Amino acid sequence: MPGDDAREAAKTVTGSLEALPYLPELPARGPGADMIGRTAGMLVELYAHVEPSGWRISDRPGRDTKRARSWLGEDLDALEEFTQGYEDALKVSAVGPWTLAAALERRSGEAMLGDPGACRDLLESLAEGVRGHLAEVQRRVPGARTVLQLDEPSLGAVLHGRVPTASGYRTHRAVDRAVVEGALRDLVRAAGDTGTSVVVHTCAPEVPFALLRRAGVTGISVDFSLLTEREDEAIGEAVESGTALFAGVVPGTEPSSGALSDPAGSVMGVRSLWRRLGLSPGLLAESVVITPACGLAGASPAYAREALAHCARAARSLADNPE
């Protein structure tokens, strides 16, 4: 979300969304509020600090770790204030293990992704941190059914060997798909220990639907404009197996035209996909969640409110008129 006011962001989210409100992230506050720093602050017995090149692993918690944890606590305070008595699905986010491994640097300056042992340590620390974070959310909002969104924008790059080394002249070799799948499955299991379901969000092309489905995720969140007909079969198999599709059809920043299309127009592509797949229109309401294409941090506060309200109206349109 845009801005730096945790209370205002929580008020906007909970006021705009009757179904699936979420814990906002406010990266405009600076390092520690960004997605990598925020999740680095959740890690257990692993710490990170900011270097000019990005976040780097540290020996002990320093100012940057403390700031990340402080801001997360502030966000949780605001969420708790505006969710009194709430008893439905509530979404929180953390960076997934592979995007985190591609972004966090070892002491040498190279990404943790290049060291399998470091990746294993990172996964264990993240799993423990995620369990603790989810337990804290459940303590503050005891009636909520938590949903964990793992943000994995670098997942495709990890699978295809496109993550650059520190020099920029080479790339890290592709990680074996079975290793990627196993790590995600471990995170799904860690979240499951707290009764939480998991959605993986990737706003990049070439979404590995089959891999994510095998890893046990409940939903897959995508930028709908990046999907191609080549992925139809994998999407159909995922939906038929019970995996929800989080369709990012609403722009994350204000369109150049200055206005969003009508709600029914926003979900026209989803209806077209359903017809191509030969799926029952009745599945739409239970299988699809309408979302922004990616985060709203680059939007104005007014547009962020408009985009969330538009998502809710578009979802109602889809449910009321699935044909």
pLDDT of residue 323: 77
Assess if residue 11 is contained within a domain. yes
Residue 307 near residue 296, CB atoms below 8 Å:
yes
- Those residues of the chain that have pLDDT short of 50 are none
| Residue pLDDT, tens place only, 123-141 | 999 999 999 999 999 999 9
Assess if residue 1 is contained within a domain. no
Assess if residue 49 is contained within a domain. yes
* Pairwise CA distance, residues 207 & 20, whole Å: 23
pLDDT of residue 107: 92
Assess if residue 285 is contained within a domain. yes
* Pairwise CA distance, residues 26 & 35, whole Å: 9
pLDDT of residue 102: 98
Single pTM value for the model: 0.96
pLDDT of residue 111: 97
The CATH number covering residue 45 comes to: 3.20.20.210
Assess if residue 216 is contained within a domain. yes
Residues spanned by the domain of 149: 6-320
pLDDT of residue 256: 82
How many separate domains does the chain show? 1
Nearest to 252 by CA among 169, 308, 177: 308
